[in-house]
């Protein structure tokens, strides 16, 4: 497959309008594989933070802090006419540190895979749905990094999906409106998806969070920020070993963990 022309829609939020080193590094590394990077800032952005982003973004758009990353993605897709000038559109947010391992590994592998959309990690199907206590949470790609290719971008189904997105006021409702249903919706519509890492090879339903160390052993380029502020008893329930994950980063990666601690 020839090198793809890519648009990245990056959703960012910081309660103080600050842009930390990990964001600048993440975008700087990502822009090596992206032709255009548009950063959507939910809420405020300090002048010095804007200058930092300007060095790694093609464009910065500050919007009201509503609808989480979902409405930022929607705005970017509509504004770009659903990426009509690109082969692939990346929907990415600020909720991960990385790349822990070079993005060249990720993009090199995914360019070899035939699919209509893909993600870095995925969540297994779970019954009952942990958000609602009933029904089933379907298998889904984690929404912090999803790539959509041209066949799906240009389809009526893709436009109709986003037209119906309203944006929700709570995190749980936002997940249920988009992240939890996006993958299943488009697979049922006849589109094919791939995950860089196979969630079925790990012991928990949510490997990116609960098996972080094991996914790093498989060279997961992303480390979720939530690991550093998740309610501790939840991590203890699943024996999440964040110290081991950080040791793997230190031992096998050139990533500067100082960026993590400055942000934390």
What is 92-148 written as a DSSP string?
EESSEE--SS-HHHHHHHHHTS--SEEES-EE--BSS-TTTSSS-B--EE-TTEEEE
CA distance 39 to 204: 32
> What pLDDT does residue 2 have?
56
Q: Among the listed ranges 45-49, 71-75, 228-232, 247-251, which one has the minimum average pLDDT value?
A: 228-232
Cβ–Cβ < 8 Å for 88, 150: yes
* Residues in contact with 231: Cβ distance below 8 Å, sequence separation at least 6, in sequence order: none
- Rounded mean pLDDT of 76-105? 97
- Rounded mean pLDDT of 25-46? 97
Q: What angle do CA 202, 176, 263 make, to 5 degrees?
A: 65
Q: What is the pLDDT of residues 122-139, one digit of tens each?
A: 999 999 998 889 999 999
Q: Is the dihedral of CA 15, 20, 24, 25 positive or negative?
A: negative
- Stated as kind and residue range, the H or E segment containing 189 is none
CA distance 46 to 17: 5
Which among 148, 151, 260, 161 has a CA at the least distance from the CA of 212?
A: 260
pTM over 0.85: yes
Mean of all residue pLDDT scores within the chain: 96
The token pair that represents 116 in the structure block: 């209509």
For residue 90, name the pLDDT band (cuts at 50, 70, 90): very high
> What pLDDT does residue 176 have?
87
> What pLDDT does residue 39 have?
98
């Amino acid at each position: 497959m020839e090198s793809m022309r890519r648009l990245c829609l990056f959703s960012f939020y910081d309660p103080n309008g600050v842009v930390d080193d990990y964001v600048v590094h993440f975008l700087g590394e990502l822009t090596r594989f992206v032709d255009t990077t548009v950063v959507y800032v939910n809420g405020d952005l300090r002048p010095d933070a804007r200058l930092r982003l300007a060095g790694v973004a093609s464009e910065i758009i500050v919007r009201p802090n509503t609808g989480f990353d979902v409405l930022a993605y929607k705005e970017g897709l509509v504004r770009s006419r659903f990426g009509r000038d690109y082969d692939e559109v990346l929907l990415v947010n600020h909720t991960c540190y990385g790349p822990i391992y070079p993005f060249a590994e990720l993009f090199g592998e995914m360019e070899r895979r035939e699919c209509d959309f893909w993600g870095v990690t995925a969540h297994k199907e779970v019954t009952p749905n942990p958000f609602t206590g009933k029904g089933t949470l379907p298998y889904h790609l984690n929404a912090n990094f999803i790539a959509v290719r041209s066949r799906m971008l240009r389809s009526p189904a893709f436009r109709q999906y986003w037209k119906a997105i309203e944006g929700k006021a709570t995190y749980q409702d936002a997940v249920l409106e988009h992240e939890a249903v996006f993958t299943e919706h488009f697979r049922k519509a006849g589109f094919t998806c791939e995950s860089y890492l196979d969630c079925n090879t790990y012991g928990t339903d949510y490997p990116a969070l609960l098996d972080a160390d094991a996914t790093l052993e498989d060279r997961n380029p992303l480390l979720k920020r939530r690991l550093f502020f998740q309610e501790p008893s939840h991590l203890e329930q699943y024996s999440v070993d964040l110290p081991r994950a950080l040791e793997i980063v230190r031992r096998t990666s050139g990533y500067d963990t100082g960026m993590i601690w400055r942000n934390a």
